[in-house]
Amino acid sequence: MSRLLSRRTHRCLTFAIIAMLTAFSVGLASAPVNAASPNGNASERHCIAKATRVGTPVRFAVPVAVCFPTFAQALSAATAGSTQLSAGFKAKDLTRGQIRPSVQTVISIDFVDAQWSGNTLTWYVDNDVGCANFDEYWADTMPLGWNDVVSSAQMYDSCNFATHFEHTGFAGAYIDCLGNGCYTMGAMNDATSSEHWRK
Partner 1 sequence: MSLRLRLGLAASLVLALALAANVTANASGLSAPRGQERHCIAQAFKVGTPAPAAAAEPRCFPTFAKAIEAATGGAIQLAPNAGTQELRTAQRIRPSAQYVIGIDYWDANFTGSTFTWWVDNPNGCADGSRYWNNVIPPDWQNNISSASTWQGCNHFVHYEGIYLGGSAIDCTCATMGVMNDKSNSEEWYQ
Q: Which residues in this chain contact partner 1 in the complex, by CB under 8 A? A: 166-167, 172-176, 185-188, 191
Judged by CB, which is closer to partner 1: 111, or 174? Answer: 174
| Smallest separation (angstroms) from partner 1 to the CB of 179 | 13
| Smallest separation (angstroms) from partner 1 to the CB of 36 | 24
CA-CA distance, 111 to 124, in Å (whole number)?
Answer: 15
Judged by CB, which is closer to partner 1: 5, or 187? Answer: 187
Judged by CB, which is closer to partner 1: 27, or 172? Answer: 172
| Smallest separation (angstroms) from partner 1 to the CB of 68 | 30
Judged by CB, which is closer to partner 1: 83, or 192? Answer: 192
| Smallest separation (angstroms) from partner 1 to the CB of 116 | 17
| Smallest separation (angstroms) from partner 1 to the CB of 175 | 4
Task: Write out the DSSP string of the chain.
Answer: -HHHHHHHHHHHHHHHHHHHHHHHHHHHHTGGGGS--TTS-TT--EEEEEPEEBTBTTTTPPPPPEEESSHHHHHHHHTTT-----TT--GGG--GGGSPP-SSEEEEEEEEETTTEEEEEEEEESSS-TTTTS--EEESSPPTT-TT---EEEE-TT--EEEEEEETTTEEEEEEEETT-BS--GGGTT---EEEEE-
Judged by CB, which is closer to partner 1: 89, or 183? Answer: 183
